[in-house]
Amino acid sequence: MDPGTILIPIGIAGAVAVMSSLRLLYEYQRGVVFRLGKLVRARGPGLIWLLPFGVERMRKMDLRIVALDIPPQDTITKDNVSVTVNAVVYFRVADPSKAVVEIEDYYFATSQLAQTTLRSVIGQSELDELLADRDRINDVVRGIIDQGTDPWGVEVTSVEIKDIGLPQEMKRAMARQAEAERERRAKVISADGEYQASAKLALAADVIRDHPAALQLRFLQTVVEIAAENNSTTLFPIPIDIFTPFIERATGVKGGGFPQVADSEDEARLALPEGASREQLAAAAKAALGLGGGAPEAAEAVPSSGSEDADEQA
């Protein structure tokens, strides 16, 4: 038999076996190689060659980070508030050999561990802490999961709590609490403003006390501001002492019947003519100001002090 006829099929079979034993691995992939069922090592990336005829077998492992979504978990916080929490876990395979040998399905195992850990940590935390200090809760959950997955060759990079669902009653209670807090802040700010305004007014009062003309200027400025409104009515207070000379001339009463300051400080007298009543003086004052119809009679009814003195001298 010609040796060539034997070598050619053998060479073709060998070439096919060699070509079929080549494997191409990407940069993010590693190949865990088993030789006759025994773990050899992880190979890759690039082109690797396995012993043909099933002597060596390989299992590919992806080293990229995986985002694992944790479904909503119904749990109760430390202060007995029922909440629904869901999160996302980011992890990757750090040791391909352990991820293949130590655990059957590292993805499913990591998911279950993340769910139980999240429920446990939420149950040990209060609601206010869960809402205000979410970063610390994330770090605690990540540390516990990473410690549990380390023997599997899986590294947990981060854990993020996405949403915290609260009952409607709790939401309404928190809304009332926030509203009360805002009202408290508003009252404190208003009181502080009143305090500062009173301090400034005290300083302004000191200035007006030292400079009385400032009060009149302020009064005129207020009048200008009021006059800006078309439908406003302005009333000016006028001292009644202005009408004293007119009333004195019309009635003949010294000082117009108004109280006069005596020479001594502890004594005051009213310069009224003898026999004149206050009703007569009032009628005479109205007549002098043109406020009453029977003014002349009232004026004649009031005796003047000058005429009485003349009668006495006669």
Domain extent listing, the chain: 12-62, 66-166, 170-235, 240-313
Give the DSSP H or E segment for 274. none
Cβ contacts of 93 within 8 Å, gap of 6 or more: 61, 62, 63, 99, 106, 153, 154, 155
The alpha-helical segments, DSSP class H, found in the chain are 3-20, 96-101, 106-123, 127-132, 134-149, 168-210, 213-227, 244-251, 278-289, 295-301, 305-313
Give 87's pLDDT tier (boundaries 50, 70, 90): very high
The token duo for 169 is 């009653």
**Which of the four CATH numbers 1.10.1740.10, 3.40.1160.10, 3.40.47.10, 3.30.479.30 does domain 66-166 have?**
3.30.479.30
pLDDT digits (tens, 9 = 90+) for 23-77: 889 999 999 999 988 999 899 898 888 888 778 889 999 999 999 999 998 889 9
pLDDT digits (tens, 9 = 90+) for 153-201: 999 999 999 888 888 888 898 899 889 999 999 999 999 999 999 999 8
Amino acid residing at 83? V
| Cα gap 191→196, rounded to integer Å | 9
DSSP per position, 231-261: T--------GGGGHHHHHHHH--GGGG-EEE
Contact present, 53 and 20 (Cβ < 8 Å): no
pTM > 0.95: yes or no: no
Residue that wins the pLDDT comparison between 123 and 18: 123
Contact present, 50 and 57 (Cβ < 8 Å): yes
pLDDT at 288 over 80: no
